[in-house]
Amino acid sequence: MIEKIKSLEKIARELEPEKETQEELTQKVINHSDDFLANLSDEKAFFQNPEPKDQDQLSEAPTAIEELLKCLRSNVEYDGINAASGGHMGYVPGGGLYPSALGDFLAAMSNKYAGIYFPAPGAARMENMLIRWMNELMSFPSGATGNLTSGGSISNLIAVVTAREAAEVRASHFDKLVVYLSDQAHHSLQKALRIAGLGEAHLRYLPVDSEFRIDISTLDATIAKDRDSGLIPFFINASLGTTNTGTIDPIDSMATIARRHKVWFHVDAAYGGFFRMLPEIREKTKGIEKADSITLDPHKSLFLPFGTGAVLIKDLKSVYKAHRYTADYLQDLVDSDSEVNAADVSPELTKHFRGLRMWLPLKLFGLKPFRAALEEKMLLAQYFRKQIKKEDGFEVAPVPDLSITMFRYIPADGDANAFNEKLIKAIQDDGRIFLSSTSIHGIFWIRVAIVVFRTHKDKIDLLLSIIKEKVRTLDK
């Protein structure tokens, strides 16, 4: 047995290369990433590979790092949407700050478990400090809590489950619950309701006005009518930056109605929350401090890599009621109450130390350039809208609240929706800029979502020229 152990140890130690080999691997990876970033501004924002590439199978034999990096470049980095590109204006991305990659490297190297305070006090303190900063940004009280999640979907799920437990909802109530939202709410909310066992709840889709903002003129009466009918008004959702249009709902008025009827009030600020770093948006979003829960996505308007979300919840007792469990093998940890344990406020027990990717750039750069970048993106959206509006045949959506704007071309003849379907495909086929489309109340719109920190005026000017070029080709 001893000889067998020694033989296996020799092979197993290949998983821990010598220092010289580690340095060589690191340098080659750094060179690869430097080359990617150096050529980023000249590369397409969207790659379409007509034939899927063969994916190598795993084998017992090792593969050289050079071969692996080559495979990564062709099969992953230059395939599909180039999410790091300043030309990516299709969905609501963040772009991926370079120091965040370094933070992920350091987090993976130390492999700290951030779910509970006892095994990694420093990691827990760091993540809770970030939660406190976000609570302050949203004007939440000092006793509020939160969690760094993988994104808005899990954040919305945590909020829904916490609301369910806070209201002491039982299975017999599920088909009586009522949720109030608009058709512009992100679909992750409906998904969260289903996962939380509330798929039988009634969804009241409130109308939106001409600017795609929730019209709450009938909300008071609708809630009262539902209650009189034996239903249970349960959850009101407002958006601070809808995905389609970036619209901000009337948060303060909705909060007042929610308080009056004692209904859980949630603000989905996944896209727009960090724009509250700007005074004008802070003014527009008064009343958010009255929310019971808020979803944020640092991987959107804080420019971090995908997989960085957050949820803020005002009442610690409610979130504990929903998520706090323990086990015999965790008995050594029961006295570690000097900080909130991430595992006690979310479904996750295994918890990646994702706070380092957020903490490092915020500390390294300070808040000033983040604030400047957010204001720049807002102004770029206004600039694009102003410029495209000058061109004959174009129609624009209402003035953007944040950094998403929409347009469409109205041809002299033929169906406008069909033309714009051809136009978005032509822009995507070109690949230099990536845009996406949406349909709202039967109208086909093309979206310009300006959120990547690398998107500047030169990219907007390029986009304008591409649009005009494609329209000339199509509208013959």
Query: What's the rounded mean pLDDT across residues 199-205?
Result: 95
Q: Is residue 66 part of a domain?
A: no
Any domain includes 446 = no
Per-residue model confidence (pLDDT) at position 334: 54
Q: pLDDT at position 325, please?
A: 81
CA–CA dist 407, 366 (Å, integer): 35
Name the band, by pLDDT with cuts 50, 70 and 90, for residue 328.
low
Q: Judge whether residue 56 has pLDDT over 90.
A: no
**CATH code at position 247:** 3.40.640.10
Q: In terms of Cα–Cα distance, which of 121, 113, 452, 148 is closest to 303?
A: 452
Q: Alpha-carbon distance 111 to 93, whole Å?
A: 27
Residue 49 has pLDDT above 80, yes or no: no
How sure is the predictor about 331, in pLDDT bands with cuts at 50, 70 and 90?
low
Span 260-279, pLDDT tens digits: 999 999 999 999 999 999 99
Residue 303 makes CB contacts below 8 A (sequence gap 6+) with: 94, 95, 96, 97, 361, 370, 373, 451, 452, 453
Whether residue 209 lies inside any domain: the answer is yes
CA-based nearest residue to 288, from 272, 308, 306 = 272
What is residue 208's predicted lDDT score, i.e. its pLDDT? Answer: 93
pLDDT above 80 for 313 = yes
Query: Per residue in 346-368, pLDDT tens?
Result: 999 888 899 999 999 999 999 99
Residue 196 has pLDDT above 80, yes or no: yes
The total of structural domains in the chain comes to: 1
**Residue 330 pLDDT class (50, 70, 90 cuts):** low
- Percent of residues, the chain, with pLDDT higher than 90: 87
Is the pLDDT assigned to residue 329 strictly greater than 80?
Answer: no
Mean pLDDT of 66-74: 92
Output the pLDDT for position 406. 97
pLDDT category at 12 given cuts 50, 70, 90 is very high
Record the tokens describing residue 70, joined without a space. Answer: 């080559």
Residue 128 in domain: yes
Instruction: Specify the range with the lowest mean pLDDT, choosing from 157-161, 167-171, 276-280, 327-331.
Output: 327-331
Residue 475's pLDDT band, with cuts at 50, 70 and 90, is confident
Residue matched to tokens 């033989």: 7
* pLDDT tens-digit map of 233-251: 999 999 999 988 999 999 9
- Least confident stretch, 116-125, 152-161, 302-311, 430-439: 116-125
pLDDT for 15-32, tens place per residue?
A: 999 999 999 999 999 999
Q: For residue 336, is pLDDT > 80? A: no
Q: Does residue 473 form part of some domain?
A: no
What is the residue range of 236's domain? 105-365
In a domain, 162, yes or no: yes
Neighbour-count burial of 261, counting CB atoms closer than 10 A to its CB (0-12 exposed, 13-18 middle, 19+ buried): middle
Within a domain: 319: yes
Check residue 51 and give its pLDDT.
66
pLDDT at 140: 97
Residue appearing with tokens 């009343």: 287
Q: What would the pLDDT profile of 337-349 be if each residue is shown by its tens digit?
A: 568 999 899 999 8
The pLDDT mean for the chain works out to 93
- Cα distance between residue 269 and residue 152, in whole Å: 9
* Reported confidence tier of residue 54, pLDDT bands at 50, 70, 90: low
Residue 141, both tokens: 């009280």
| Domain membership flag for residue 67 | no
Alpha carbons 136 and 17: distance in angstroms, whole number? 45
Whole-angstrom distance, CA of residue 359 vs CA of residue 140: 20
Q: Of all helices (H) and strands (E), which one includes residue 443? A: strand 443-449
Average pLDDT rounded to a whole number, residues 62-82: 92
